[in-house]
Amino acid sequence: MEADKTQKLLKERLKEKGGLKVTHQRLLVLSVLEENSGSHMTAEDIYDLVSEDYPEIGLATVYRTLQLLWDMQLVDRINFGGDGCVRYEIGHLLNGGETKHNHHHLICKRCNKVMPFDDDLLESLEDHIEKATGFHVLDHELKFYGLCKDCMKKQR
């Protein structure tokens, strides 16, 4: 997504959130996530990249910015459990414009590699849940744990 569209969506969301301002720090955090789409970055990873261009930014500012962007559904927050770190990626609204999830995750239990899996085979299950219970699913998160192709080769 080009920077102008990102800025426009950020401005709209910040305005909805009570007239908050579009700051350089917020734009930098979003742009780092966009440039590293699919990387599942920790706040520290993001801080390291943002501070290269903006050394006066603090880690606490990055954490606050990520929380605000998550509240506005502009970034997604994922906890893979293996290392205890919360990771972030560009949100659904910025990545294709849909409000539903973007992809699932495949997590290798040996090397901790995380791979996105883009096929969504759960739409019929979501429809069934709604018909059976009246509960409308807005989003879901699915993680598969196993061994990646490289670890499987090493095991053999």
Q: What is the pLDDT of residue 131?
A: 96
Residue 67 sits at φ, ψ, to 5 deg, of -65, -45
Over residues 48-106, the pLDDT tens digits come to 999 998 999 999 999 999 999 888 888 888 887 666 788 898 875 555 444 455 568 88
d(CA 118, CA 59): 31
For residues 32 and 121, the model is more confident at: 32
pLDDT band at residue 124, thresholds of 50, 70 and 90?
Answer: confident
CA 96 to chain centre: 13
In the chain, what are the domains?
1-97 (1.10.10.10), 100-156 (3.30.1490.190)
